[in-house]
């Protein structure tokens, strides 16, 4: 049996896994289960075959599957056949086990032990009947052993508590098993839902899983998904739906989202999960982007967070530029954005927790989602219309989701929750607008003048800085001058025929080693001019708080409209009150006799000490040139400190503000932000522009106008850089590391 979980090899990296797919759901809104709903969902899935791909053997697909509300009567009957007695409350799991019985037995033993620690008991295992003739040669090479696990619980226990205990037990078991058995995978383990998925073609799913043909298997909610693995390898575990959701699209910021999820988990605290160490890492650092989002959703759900709030935090609308949005609703989004960046990229997400059948669309609406409701109270929502043949006269309502909207069918109450209904619930949860008005502050621009620099360097000292930081005549003339005069980057022909820095005879900037990634295959970029309404450079400063609670103190943040700071805003930031925004300036200078590695380790240690002492703003500064000292490159220091603080569990307590002479154009600023900087103060760019203004080398504008034009040009450049990767907000770009490093070891 070949490994089912791919590891790094050659140019392949597991973190590159992405997919773009077809999806849908059918739900009976009054919670009346039927086999018709399951079989119709399978037929609908088969009509999405064109959304996936097929291997050369003609049978192995990229993966497809169903996630349905637990078919209680069917499962009880099958458990009885195995001699398994189930009580009033129970859970069922679908488990991928190794074909090696020794490894499978080890996994069963670990699961039994961890489940028992939560006061639950495993009632028994049931081999899931499958027909391997439905599998192609490629799928058979990695085919796992598939078994159902039945878990009993006290009758007095609430289903939500059972699911939470199972989540904790499963996470502990996964951490004990995954490094010894790469096949083991829990596709679902829940009191309310069950998953059937695999590497087969949609029409072969009921041929492979014999359960799906059984007329007694009845459900009232069924989510279905056909995967298209974009430039990646099909795997059994990566077939969708996952434990909560199925996703069509690509999360372009996934590296940053995973890193921030790991960092943010140290701020989490909830009585529902007494030991969060059992859960960490909060999301998988490999696998597909969709699986990581599902990890985040189930973790927040287990901690007691409302599913609508979770999805509105993960995939919010473009609230920053929607002037007509209700002020209370806008306050809800602003409040929550302070503690969770958007998982950004084209996305349509269908999900179920056994009660709600819902769908969310990304802020750009780049993946379609259309719904139809028929007289028999069935709602069908899918990536295309007509996934099964209903009669036109039976349709009572139909529509499509607009960008940033969420729709849900509540099978407990029988109600359809339209986007406005969900918004109404969310905005009235807490007095968000009052909290923001009282606690949130904004960095302001001086009304009179905002000069490039209030204390310019002497000509001699400026020459030293420009030489040290490689400011050339060409850069002054074709980059800085154009930015200050026109308020935008220079327009030139496409192409870059310069040799890679590692092969160049010239001493090049370290930033030149970083090549920006861009959207490709099924992933569209954004037009930063015509679609700027969905984009934002808004930046927050301050400590992140525990997301499982909502208080007025959570709104104690400092907001700036751009991560590119003027001198006045940089000074304002360092002069903020010591309670919420105390700062420390960390010099990037080090002795010429010391090693670079040692110097980087030293600044990481200084940053950790500052964070532990309660500092919130860490200003990394290279404005400290001396004859006998060298300076750590700002991008090296930023990336090193960012990852060091993530590992230390302190990252969300601080913001990195970079006072640097190395960053003068939009690419250089983007690299710093991409590796974790909250904001950049490009002091040498301002000093150089001031010198050029005095010499009459730029247009006869005021110093304040030159500064504004320069920052406007850098901001336009940041919009362009993030947009070509399909990212809308700078908060999602921060820490995402969307660069290919060429020539750096």
d(CA 597, CA 511): 19
CA atoms within 13 A on the CB side of 339: 24
d(CA 638, CA 672): 7
Q: What strand order describes the sheet that includes 229-230?
A: 229-230, 18-19, 245-249, 347-352, 356-361, 406-410, 415-417
3-state DSSP percent of the chain in helix, strand and coil, to 5: 40, 20, 40
- The four Cα atoms 9, 10, 13, 19 give a dihedral, to 10 degrees, of -100
CA atoms within 13 A on the CB side of 467: 7
**Torsions phi, psi of 221, nearest 5?**
-140, 135
Indicate which residue of 21, 359, 540, 652 is catalytic. 21
Q: Which residues have C-beta within 8 Å of that of residue 285, sequence separation ≥ 6? A: 15, 258, 262, 292
498 DSSP 8-state letter: S
At 83, which helix (H) or strand (E)? none
Beta bridge partners of 148: 94, 126
Q: Quick check: 637 and 674 in contact, CB under 8 A?
A: no
d(CA 736, CA 745): 19
d(CA 433, CA 430): 9
d(CA 8, CA 17): 11
Q: What strand order describes the sheet that includes 617-621?
A: 583-587, 617-621, 655-659, 679-681
Q: Tally DSSP H helices, then E strands, for the chain.
A: 23, 29
Q: Quick check: 638 and 603 in contact, CB under 8 A?
A: no
d(CA 410, CA 285): 33
21 is catalytic: yes
Q: Quick check: 361 and 405 in contact, CB under 8 A?
A: yes
Which are the catalytic amino acids? 21
């Amino acid at each position: 049996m070949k490994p089912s979980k791919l590891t790094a090899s050659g140019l392949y990296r597991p973190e590159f896994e992405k997919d773009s797919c077809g999806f849908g759901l059918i739900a009976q809104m009054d919670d009346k289960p039927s086999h018709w709903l399951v079989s119709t969902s399978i037929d609908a899935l088969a009509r999405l075959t064109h959304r996936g791909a097929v291997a050369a053997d003609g049978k192995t697909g990229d993966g497809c599957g169903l996630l349905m509300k637990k078919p209680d009567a069917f499962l009880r009957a099958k458990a009885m056949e195995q001699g398994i007695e189930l009580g009033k409350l129970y859970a069922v799991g679908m488990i991928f086990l190794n074909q090696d019985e020794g490894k499978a037995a080890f996994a069963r033993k670990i699961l039994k032990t961890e489940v028992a620690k939560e006061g639950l008991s495993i009632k028994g295992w049931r081999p899931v009947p499958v027909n391997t003739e439905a599998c192609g040669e490629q799928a058979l090479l990695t085919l796992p052993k598939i078994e159902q696990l039945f878990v009993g619980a006290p009758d007095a226990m609430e289903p939500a508590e059972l699911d939470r205990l199972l989540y904790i037990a499963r996470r502990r078991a996964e951490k004990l098993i995954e490094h010894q058995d790469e096949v083991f995978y829990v596709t679902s383990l829940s009191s309310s839902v069950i998953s059937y998925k695999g590497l087969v073609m949609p029409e072969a799913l009921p041929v492979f899983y014999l359960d799906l043909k059984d007329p007694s298997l009845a459900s009232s909610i069924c989510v279905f998904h056909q995967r298209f693995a974009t430039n990646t390898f099909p795997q059994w575990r990566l077939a969708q739906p996952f434990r909560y959701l199925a996703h069509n699209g690509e999360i372009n910021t996934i590296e940053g989202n995973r890193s921030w999820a790991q960092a943010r988990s140290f701020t989490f605290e909830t009585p529902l999960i007494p030991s969060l160490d059992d859960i960490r890492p909060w999301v998988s650092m490999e696998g597909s982007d969709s699986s990581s989002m599902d990890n985040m959703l189930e973790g927040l759900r287990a901690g007691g967070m409302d599913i609508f709030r979770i999805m509105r935090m993960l995939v919010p609308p473009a609230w920053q530029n929607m002037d007509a949005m209700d002020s209370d609703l806008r306050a809800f989004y602003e409040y929550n954005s302070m503690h969770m960046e958007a998982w950004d990229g084209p996305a349509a997400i269908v999900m179920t927790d056994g009660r709600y059948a819902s769908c969310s669309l990304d802020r750009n609406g780049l993946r379609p989602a259309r719904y139809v409701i028929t007289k028999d109270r069935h709602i069908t929502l899918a990536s295309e219309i007509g996934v099964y043949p209903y009669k036109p006269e039976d349709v009572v309502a139909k529509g499509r989701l607009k960008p940033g909207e969420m729709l849900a069918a509540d099978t407990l109450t029988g109600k359809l929750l339209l986007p406005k209904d969900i918004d109404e619930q969310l905005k009235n949860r807490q007095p968000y607008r009052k909290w923001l008005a009282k606690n949130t502050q904004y960095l302001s621009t001086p009304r009179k003048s905002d000069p490039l620099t209030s204390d310019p360097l002497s000509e001699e000292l400026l020459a030293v800085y420009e030489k040290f930081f490689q400011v050339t005549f060409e850069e002054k003339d074709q980059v800085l001058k154009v930015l200050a005069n026109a308020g935008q980057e220079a327009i030139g022909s496409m192409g870059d025929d310069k040799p890679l820095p590692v092969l160049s005879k010239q001493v090049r900037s370290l930033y030149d080693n970083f090549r920006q990634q861009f959207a490709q295959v099924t992933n569209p970029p954004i037009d930063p001019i015509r679609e700027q309404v969905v984009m934002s450079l808004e930046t927050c400063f301050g400590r992140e708080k525990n997301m499982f609670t909502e208080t007025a103190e959570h709104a104690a943040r400092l907001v700036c409209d751009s991560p590119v700071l003027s001198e006045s805003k940089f000074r304002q930031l360092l002069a903020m009150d010591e309670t919420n925004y105390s700062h420390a300036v960390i010099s990037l200078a080090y002795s010429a006799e010391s090693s670079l590695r040692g110097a980087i380790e030293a600044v990481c240690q200084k940053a950790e000490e500052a964070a532990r002492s309660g500092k919130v703003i860490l200003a990394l500064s290279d404005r400290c040139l001396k004859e006998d000292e060298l300076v750590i490159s700002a991008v090296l220091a930023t990336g090193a400190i960012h990852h060091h603080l993530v590992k230390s569990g302190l990252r969300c307590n601080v913001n990195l503000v970079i006072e640097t002479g190395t960053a003068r154009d939009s690419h250089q600023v983007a690299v710093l932000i991409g590796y974790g900087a909250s904001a950049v103060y490009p002091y040498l760019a301002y000093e150089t522009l001031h010198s050029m203004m005095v010499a009459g080398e730029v247009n006869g504008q005021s110093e304040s106008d030159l500064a504004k034009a320069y920052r406007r040009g850098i901001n336009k450049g940041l919009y362009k850089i993030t947009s070509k990767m399909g990212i809308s907000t700078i908060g999602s770009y921060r820490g995402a590391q969307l660069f290919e490093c060429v020539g750096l070891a």
